[in-house]
Amino acid sequence: NIKNNYILLFVTIIIFVDFLINKNFFDLKISVYLGLCIVLSYIISEIREDMFLKLITFSSLIFLLYGVYGWLNGGEGAAWGKLYVYFAYNYLPSTRNEDSLIFLLGFITSLYLFLFTKFNYKILLINQLNILAIILSFSRGMYLLIFLNLIMLIFYIISNTNKFKFVAIYLIGTLLIQFSSIQIINKSTEMDLNSVFVVKLQSFNHLGDSTGNTISKKNYTYLLNSSRNSSKIKINEWKNFMNEIKVTMSNDNYFFNLVNKFFVNKKKYYENSVLYILGNFSIFLSFVILIFILKNTLKIKNNFEYSKDIFKLVIFVNFILLNTIYNYLDDIWNYLIILYLITPNNQNFKISYK
């Protein structure tokens, strides 16, 4: 368990050194957030797990209320529901995918508390508000994650028949509450939310831009199209890496040149976290990060106790998918997941189950 944090500390130091060399403040954010995760994991190690999850849940409520305040004031330029329409806590003239992350975390943690701890109407209310916020964010990536989480919930029902009625009522009730809420909110906007929602769903399946308008095949955009192209470029660069190392070793100043090979000088912004790591960090550092991910995956698998670790598995799957779809490396909420995943490694969390 201690080695697990040592790996993360090593990654943090290397990224910070990378920042000192390249002066990329995006990398500075990453190293600072990772460092905070390591320190906080020991500071909060005695906090009960249910209290930790409630902290995330009620934090999402604070940002929900802040977002509602912005909505009631029409957002930036009083344009919400007129020039554009989405829910967030920062209102700009485009969808704020980053804003949706805290709502997704609030949904997952409140759902877990709802299923495994003493029934609480406040937790259920926050859960429904977070789902509504995600629906109104009109973020296709978040739609995909909500769908996958509900699929995992259905599989949970199948393997735990004693909770079948409880979860079935939750799912049916959620559908009714969300549909009714959207219809009520729809009356307060000049745009038809139902039409916007349909367009967003249709954009998953046909050639079109983010608004659903059909465009030529040469310029078509899928959800991860640009990421696919970036991946091909990086694969070709990696294929040439060993040849570059051989050339470097043949030079007189091979040690200095070899060190330089472990840092990428030409930094670029990539669409998701995975591509950013592959594109802006060396193969060596990328490999260490991969080891950290695989180590935690195997840890969950080898020590798996269904009733206790199902949530850890769910949050870990969401973490991987989130960073495959979006670039959340500079988002503090993303590191809240890492903090949760590494904190239990330092002590035994206490949680009261139903």
What is the pLDDT, as a whole number, of residue 73?
Answer: 72
What is the pLDDT, as a whole number, of residue 92?
Answer: 62
Q: What is the mean pLDDT of residues 68-86?
A: 65
What is the pLDDT, as a whole number, of residue 189?
Answer: 73
What is the pLDDT, as a whole number, of residue 130?
Answer: 94
Q: Which residue has the tokens 């804003």?
A: 99
What is the pLDDT, as a whole number, of residue 272?
Answer: 83
φ, ψ (nearest 5 deg) of residue 84 = -150, 165
pLDDT tens figures, 200-218: 777 665 444 444 444 334 4
What is the pLDDT, as a whole number, of residue 100?
Answer: 87
- What number of other Cβ atoms are within 10 A of residue 203's Cβ? 19
What is the pLDDT, as a whole number, of residue 291?
Answer: 83
Contacts of 268 (CB under 8 A, 6+ apart): 279, 280
Contacts of 313 (CB under 8 A, 6+ apart): 300, 304
Instruction: Please check the confidence at residue 67 and state whether its pLDDT lies above 80.
Output: yes
Residue with more model confidence, 220 or 288: 288
Residue with more model confidence, 30 or 226: 30
pLDDT grade, residue 303 (50/70/90)?
Answer: low
Q: What is the mean pLDDT of residues 47-74?
A: 84
| Alpha carbon distance 59, 61 (integer Å) | 5
What is the pLDDT, as a whole number, of residue 240?
Answer: 64
Q: What is the mean pLDDT of residues 244-269?
A: 60
| Alpha carbon distance 143, 132 (integer Å) | 11
Note whether 333 and 56 are within 8 A (CB): no
pLDDT tens figures, 312-339: 778 888 888 888 888 889 888 899 888 8
Instruction: Please check the confidence at residue 236 and state whether its pLDDT lies above 50.
Output: yes
pLDDT tens figures, 221-232: 444 555 566 666
Provide, rounded to the nearest whole percent, the portion of the chain with pLDDT above 90. 15
Q: 3-state SS of the chain?
A: CHHHHHHHHHHHHHHHHHHHHHCCHHHHHHHHHHHHHHHHHHHCCCCCHHHHHHHHHHHHHHHHHHHHHHHHCCCHHHCECCCECCCCCCCCCCCCCCCHHHHHHHHHHHHHHHHHCCCCHHHHHHHHHHHHHHHHHCCHHHHHHHHHHHHHHHHHHHHCHHHHHHHHHHHHHHHHHHHHHHHHHHCCCCCCHHHHHHHHHHCCCCCECCCCCCCCHHHCECCCHHHHHHHHHHHHHHHCHHHHHHHHHCCCCHHHHHHHHCECCCCCCCCCHHHHHHHHECHHHHHHHHHHHHHHHHHHHHCCCHHHHHHHHHHHHHHHHHHHHCCCCCCHHHHHHHHHHHHHHHCCCCCCCC
What is the pLDDT, as a whole number, of residue 350?
Answer: 44
Q: Is 348 left (phi over 0), alpha (psi -120 to 50) or beta?
A: beta
Exposed/middle/buried for residue 337 (C-beta within 10 Å: 0-12, 13-18, 19+): buried
Instruction: Please check the confidence at residue 106 and state whether its pLDDT lies above 60.
Output: yes
Q: Which two tokens stand for residue 129?
A: 């508000």
Nearest to 34 by CA among 313, 270, 331: 331
Average pLDDT of every residue of the chain: 75
The pTM score is 0.80
What is the pLDDT, as a whole number, of residue 348?
Answer: 44
pLDDT tens figures, 156-212: 777 776 778 888 888 899 999 999 998 888 887 777 777 878 877 776 654 444 444
Instruction: Please check the confidence at residue 288 and state whether its pLDDT lies above 50.
Output: yes
142-151, 220-229, 236-245, 274-283: the lowest-pLDDT one:
220-229
Q: What is the mean pLDDT of residues 122-128?
A: 93
Distance of CA 245 to CAs 196, 233, 238, 250, 279, Å? 52, 19, 11, 9, 17
What is the pLDDT, as a whole number, of residue 43?
Answer: 81
